[in-house]
């Protein structure tokens, strides 16, 4: 709880250093996950896909956001307005306002990487895919409006930080829209977690892979929880005059949400790296053929990638694997599991066809 103006230590109360430390650590952690994702890509295909570029872009946005927040904290953000010199208050608020651009973008764009990942992994129907992208574009448009409000709320924009005389909207307009935007983020984060959860229930998967995937989905649920908390904290900002002190409500929780979504998007792509470090059976998948052991059967001789390719070839024309256009079969934990699942179903289908043919074959043939 914040101290009152008459309380001892009021002038020294400062949330800035802790806010900057947490944001820096989380941004660095998400950066490491993105590097691990890129290395996994290098192992599996030696080329980057658009969702990889989005993740790199998001890390850059996160770094810029933390850097701008750090400058704002240097000039007094995190301290009470009466305890900061007037010119430094103006500078601190200026950098907070400017930081909203990479800040809002940093939690928007990782969701698009998540959508691309889901479309590639779970192969939704054409109608579902269209709905996914319509909702995504609506969310993007809402984010652009949020950024526009950030600067259009005052005429001129410099009136926000006291750099010029001007008029500003009622702050409740911007705060209420920010709450609306956060509500959209909650819905998006829950979708990115609930949809794959439903699909995973239909897959035959060992517990190690379930733990790995649940950890990924857990970051999505955590991001939604963080956003809900952010909605609650934003409500009191409409009438708040000690704006610089509540930098954690503005900067920190936005940064936490962005990093949780980004980390959750990266985890399912790390199977090649996990396999390289811990071995082919690290997550309980089928390992490579051991030295000196002869492979048996058409599918076991070439591992999950060729097994999946074989099933994919048999399903040609059915549209079953349209979402997997780059043959990046070993990149994802889910997809590596789906390969064996689909092959098993394909074998059962072949066996059933042979059995049915045998029944129809006349005796004596």
Alpha-carbon distance of 189 to 179, in angstroms, equals 15
How many other CB atoms are there within 10 angstroms of residue 17's CB atom?
Answer: 11
Range of the domain at 44: 16-276
> Are residues 199 and 314 both part of a single domain?
no
- Specify if 171 maps to a domain: yes
- pLDDT (0 to 100) of residue 201: 73
The mean per-residue pLDDT over the stretch 27-54 comes to 93
pLDDT number for residue 197: 79
CATH of the domain at 208: 1.20.1070
Instruction: Look at residue 76 and tell me whether its pLDDT is greater than 50.
Output: yes
pLDDT at 90: 92
Question: Are residues 332 and 261 part of one domain?
Answer: no
Asked if the structure places residue 334 within a domain, the reply is yes
**Under DSSP, is residue 166 helix (H, G, I), strand (E, B) or coil?**
coil
Residue 328 domain-assigned? yes
- Assign 4 a pLDDT band (cuts: 50, 70, 90): low
Distance CA 341, CA 323 (A): 17
Please tell me the predicted confidence (pLDDT) of residue 306.
44
The contacts of residue 364 (CB under 8 Å, 6+ apart) are none
Q: Both tokens of residue 112?
A: 């698009």
Structural domain total, the chain: 2
pLDDT at 211: 67
97 inside domain:
yes
Higher-scoring residue by pLDDT: 323, 175: 175
The answer to whether residue 4 is domain-embedded is no
Least Cα distance to 299 among 336, 333, 344 occurs for 344
Q: Which of 324, 320, 325, 327 is nearest to 345 (CA)?
A: 320
155/26 same-domain check:
yes
Q: Which residues contact 103 (CB under 8 A, 6 or more apart)?
A: 65, 251, 254, 255, 258
In this structure, are residues 149 and 211 in contact, taking their beta carbons and an 8 Å threshold?
no
Lowest mean pLDDT among 115-119, 129-133, 142-146: 115-119
pLDDT, tens only, 331-359: 455 545 444 344 444 544 555 554 455 54
Q: Does residue 314 carry a pLDDT above 60?
A: no
């Amino acid at each position: 709880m914040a101290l009152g103006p008459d309380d001892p230590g009021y002038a020294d109360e400062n949330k800035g250093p802790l806010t900057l430390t947490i944001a820096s650590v989380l941004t660095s952690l998400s950066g490491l996950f993105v590097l691990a994702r890129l290395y996994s890509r290098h192992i599996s295909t030696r080329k980057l896909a658009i969702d990889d570029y989005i993740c790199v872009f998001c890390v850059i946005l996160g770094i810029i956001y933390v850097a701008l927040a750090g400058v704002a904290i240097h000039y007094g953000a995190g301290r009470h307005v009466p305890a900061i010199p007037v010119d430094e208050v103006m500078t601190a608020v200026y950098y907070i306002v400017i930081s909203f651009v990479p800040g809002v973008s940093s939690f928007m764009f990782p969701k698009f990487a998540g959508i691309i990942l889901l479309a590639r992994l779970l192969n939704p129907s054409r109608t579902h895919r269209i709905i996914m992208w319509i909702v995504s574009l609506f969310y993007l448009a809402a984010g652009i409006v949020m950024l526009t409000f950030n600067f259009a709320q005052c005429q001129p924009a410099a009136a926000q930080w006291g750099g010029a005389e001007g008029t500003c909207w009622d702050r409740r307009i911007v705060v209420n829209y920010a709450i609306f935007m956060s509500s959209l983020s909650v819905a998006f984060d829950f979708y990115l977690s609930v949809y794959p959860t439903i699909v995973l229930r239909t897959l035959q998967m060992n517990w190690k892979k379930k733990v790995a995937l649940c950890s990924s989905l857990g970051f999505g649920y955590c991001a939604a929880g963080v956003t809900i908390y952010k909605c609650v904290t934003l409500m009191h900002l409409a009438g708040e005059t000690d704006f610089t002190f509540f930098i954690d409500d503005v900067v920190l929780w936005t940064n936490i949400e962005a990093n949780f979504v980004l980390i959750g998007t990266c985890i399912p792509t790390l199977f090649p790296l996990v396999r390289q470090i811990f071995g082919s059976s690290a997550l309980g998948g089928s390992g490579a053929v051991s030295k000196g052991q002869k492979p048996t059967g058409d599918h076991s001789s070439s591992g999950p990638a060729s097994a999946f390719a074989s099933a994919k070839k048999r399903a040609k024309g059915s549209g079953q694997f349209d979402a997997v256009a780059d043959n990046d079969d070993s990149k994802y934990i889910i997809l590596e599991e789906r390969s064996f699942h689909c092959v098993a179903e394909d074998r059962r289908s072949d066996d059933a066809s042979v059995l049915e043919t045998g029944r129809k074959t006349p005796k004596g043939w």
